Amino acid sequence: MSKSIDQRSVDAIRILSADAIQKANSGHPGLPLGAAPAAYTLWAKVMNHNPKNPKWENRDRFILSGGHGSMLLYSLLHLFGYGLTIEDLSNFRQLGSLTPGHPEYRHTTGVEATTGPLGAGMAMAVGMAMAEKHLAATFNREDFPVVDHYTYVLGGDGCMMEGISYEAFSLAGTLGLSKLIVLYDSNDISIEGGTNIAFRESVMKRFEAFGFQTLRVEDGTDLEAIQAAIEEAKADTTRPSMIEIKTKIGAGCPAKEGKASAHGEPLGVENVAALRQNLGWESETPFEVPADIYDNYAAIAAKKAEVEEAWNALFSAYREKYPEMAALWDQYHDESNAAFLEQDDEFWNLFDSPQATRNVSGKMINYMKDKIPNLFGGSADLAPSTKTYMNDAGDFSKETPEGRNLHFGVRELSMAAIGNGICLHGGLRPYVSTFFVFSDYVKPMARLSALMQIPLTYVLTHDSIGVGEDGPTHEPIEQLAMLRALPNFYAFRPADARETAAAWCFATNSTRIPTALILSRQNLPQLDGSGKGALKGGYILADSTKATPDALLIATGSEVQLAVEAREKLLADGIDARVVSMPCMDLFNDQPAEYKEQVLPSAVTVRVGVEALTSFGWERYIGLTGKFVGMTGFGASGPGGKLFEYFGITTDAVVAAVKEQL
């Protein structure tokens, strides 16, 4: 019996995927072969998207959480006309190609999120669904559902095993994200063999406990059953949905179907030929797809474009009827809507007395919230401590999706991924928050923020041994070095209110760089000379009277005041030092060589770095002969002030470090 055009279109995904992986001699054919029917059904029969305008605001989002199966997505993007060519597919996994090993946001048109770390895509999808729900509550009016789209995420057993998915889906159920639909490619196989060696739970029951609608498709090749399940999921307007689709890994390849070896290695030339024969594929030539299949995809894409045209007409009428909402929409979608902050004198001068920088940041958030209406964020159950709550802005919940304060619960890892998803969705300026020491839990998703070049802001408080009595488990030591090591991730550790203003000014105006604000628990004085110089990352806070200083004192955060006090003591002894505040090493490194030489003249070799954290990475500024005043091990439990004395992070220690070099 001849195959339908839909079935042959599914086979095209399989063949292209197998050919690309075989040519590269690298990749993961198992997922594309098994999940092709579900992916085709979703993209062709259900999902609203327009290849001619991949950034249409009201498109449905699709995230391939099992990013190792990237050829599934690349085949879809090629066949639907998103711009990927056959040559692109044939260059799969090659240097500089548009088809890298795992999908990369910004790199390949149509890729909504960078995926690969299993489970991350699941959590980012939750963030996208949260963004949709909030924006719909903000902008929709009767008969004008201008924000009305779904978020679909596809992943397998590995995504379900990772703890991040537990965290994220627990929150999704709590929030009633009814436009989140999870497609579970359930094939009972992982790299080491059958999943029963390590994974025997009932995933369906777990999702029921989360508060999801749960559906099951017994035959993952049954296109009608898959479509019916997705439509049933969409019909539930109170709960997110999970559809378990029973598939066979490596489906269609006789020697590999259902076997662990199908997961992460090419099928082999003979097995690709056997796949063709088994599917009844009419061409032996690699990457050759019959014209009628291309015509089918083009016809579907043309109908998808009509959906956007209808939305455009709706949105045009919305603009006419609600001009104030249209203006707000434009403000939400304007990446430069915080540009005013740099010239806002009130913002830069909110404090004149000693304050903890976490308190300073809290007041700034509440100052900005009325001027940047799409500021949207919260913490991992720590808002009273991290000072990240926006007063009178409401709480985002199932019942009140218009609220702007997010409650992530004690879920740091998924919080960061969800923040990424909110960023990726567009229209909102999100921030997330926890204690700085717990950036260890946050880091994998912060790395994705940096890799995707999205400007998520991380508010990380309790920045040093100043935490005090909570002891070494809560006192960060190596965490700032870790964040500084991340490419395209800028960590600010401000010394006072004006430097905190600089950090927020940078963060809210960033378009491609995620930012961390590393903030103190203890009060810090407002320093003479601080201010917009911090926007260069490092600057001269208190200068020597000499053209060439006798010494350079370089410090961050709460230790800048120690450097200032040390300079005064040194001056009394006839040693004329310069104090350089270095709130953001990454930003300082971006400055022209002339500026960096002006601030840190190479002729001055007597240098002291001061930071109540590890010395790792400071060599670039203090050299091999400079001294460091900071931590060499973990902290201790006791009053913060006493800990600074106990560990020798004092003004006298800075003075001694200079004199030792002289």
Q: Catalytic positions, please?
A: 412
Strand partners, 151: 61, 180
Of the candidates 640, 639, 618, which has an alpha carbon nearest to the alpha carbon of residue 629? 618
Query: Hey, what are 572's tokens?
Result: 């009394």
Host H or E run for residue 630: strand 627-631
Of the candidates 347, 358, 357, 349, which has an alpha carbon nearest to the alpha carbon of residue 561? 357
Strand order through the sheet with 405-407: 405-407, 375-379, 429-435, 457-461, 515-519, 490-492
Strand partners, 189: 194
Query: Hey, what are 152's tokens?
Result: 């679909």
Query: Hey, what are 199's tokens?
Result: 């994974």
Asked if 472 and 396 touch (Cβ cutoff 8 Å), the reply is no
Query: Hey, what are 217's tokens?
Result: 């498709």
Asked if 54 and 242 touch (Cβ cutoff 8 Å), the reply is no
Secondary structure string (H, E, C) spanning 326-343:
HHHHHHHCCCCCCHHHHH
Of the candidates 503, 492, 497, which has an alpha carbon nearest to the alpha carbon of residue 342? 503
Please, which contacts does 566-573 make with residues 24 or more away whose CB atoms are closer than 8 Å?
Answer: 566/608, 566/651, 566/652, 566/654, 566/655, 566/658, 567/542, 569/651, 569/652, 569/655, 570/655, 570/658, 573/659
Question: Which residue in this structure is represented by tokens 């840190």?
Answer: 600
What phi, psi does 551 have (nearest 5°)? -155, 155
Asked if 42 and 100 touch (Cβ cutoff 8 Å), the reply is no
First to last CA, the chain: 90
* Residue length of the chain: 662
SS3 349: coil
Of the candidates 108, 109, 105, 125, which has an alpha carbon nearest to the alpha carbon of residue 54? 109
